[in-house]
Amino acid sequence: MGFLKSISATASLIFQIVLVVAAVAAFSYFDPFELLAPTKRTLKNTPIQVQSIKEIGQLITAEYYGEVIGSLDELLTREALNEIDSFNYQIDALHDDFVDAIDSIAARKIKRNDIYPAFSDEYEDLLADSLFDFYAYFINEKLKNRNYTRREINKKLSNDDTKKLIRDLGLERKDRLREDLHSISTAEIQENFRYSTKKLQTKLAKKRRLVILGRGWVKAGFDFGSFTEKNFIYDGLHKRAIFIGLQPEILVATINPWFIPEEGVEGFEFVIVERKVKNDPEWTKRVKQLCLDKLTAQATRKNILDQAQTNAEFHLKNLFSLLAGDQIEDIRFFTDYLDYSLGALLNDSVLRDDELPLVEEMIAEARIRDGQDFKPINCQIFLDSLRHAEKTVRNCSFELNAKSGILFKILQDQKIDSADIRYFEALKDSTFYDMVWFECFRENKKEAFTSYHSKTNTAVIGDLNRIRQSLKLPVDSTLLDYLR
Q: What are phi and psi of 221, to 5 degrees?
A: 170, -140
Rounded Cα distance between 427 and 27, Å, is 69
Rounded Cα distance between 182 and 199, Å, is 31
∠ CA(122), CA(127), CA(129), 5° rounding? 125
Name residues whose C-beta falls within 8 Å of residue 38's C-beta, 6 or more positions apart in sequence: none
Per-residue confidence at 4, pLDDT binned at 50, 70, 90? very low
Q: 337-345 and 380-388 helices cross at what angle (nearest 10)?
A: 10
Rounded to whole angstroms, the maximal C-alpha distance in the chain is 136
Name residues whose C-beta falls within 8 Å of residue 124's C-beta, 6 or more positions apart in sequence: none
What is the pTM for the complete model shown?
A: 0.66
Q: Which of 12, 42, 11 is nearest to 326 (CA)?
A: 42
Rounded Cα distance between 417 and 429, Å, is 20
Q: Which of 405, 402, 350 is nearest to 379 (CA)?
A: 402
Q: pLDDT for 197-220, tens place per residue?
A: 999 888 888 778 889 898 899 999
pLDDT on residue 388: 92
Q: pLDDT for 402-460, tens place per residue?
A: 999 999 999 988 889 889 889 999 998 999 999 999 999 998 877 889 999 999 999 99
Percentage of the residues of the chain whose pLDDT score is greater than 90: 43
Name residues whose C-beta falls within 8 Å of residue 198's C-beta, 6 or more positions apart in sequence: 80
CB 471 within 8 A of CB 410: no
pLDDT on residue 276: 74
pLDDT on residue 229: 83
State whether residue 333 is helix, strand or coil.
strand
Q: pLDDT for 317-332, tens place per residue?
A: 887 787 767 788 888 8
Rounded Cα distance between 118 and 116, Å, is 5
Q: pLDDT for 166-200, tens place per residue?
A: 998 888 888 898 899 999 999 999 999 999 999 98
List, in sequence order, every residue forming a beta bridge with 233; answer none if it has no partner.
242
pLDDT on residue 402: 93
Show contacts of 395-398: CB within 8 Å, 24+ apart. Answer: 396/466, 396/467, 396/470, 396/471, 398/463, 398/467
Rounded Cα distance between 17 and 13, Å, is 6
Rounded to the nearest integer, the mean pLDDT of the chain is 84
Distances (CA, A) of 382 to 231, 233, 260, 430, 456: 18, 19, 48, 21, 18
* Domain range list for the chain: 51-73+205-323, 77-200, 337-483
Q: pLDDT for 89-129, tens place per residue?
A: 999 999 999 999 999 988 888 888 888 999 989 899 999 99
Helices (H), 239-329: 275-278, 281-301, 304-324
Rounded Cα distance between 56 and 227, Å, is 10
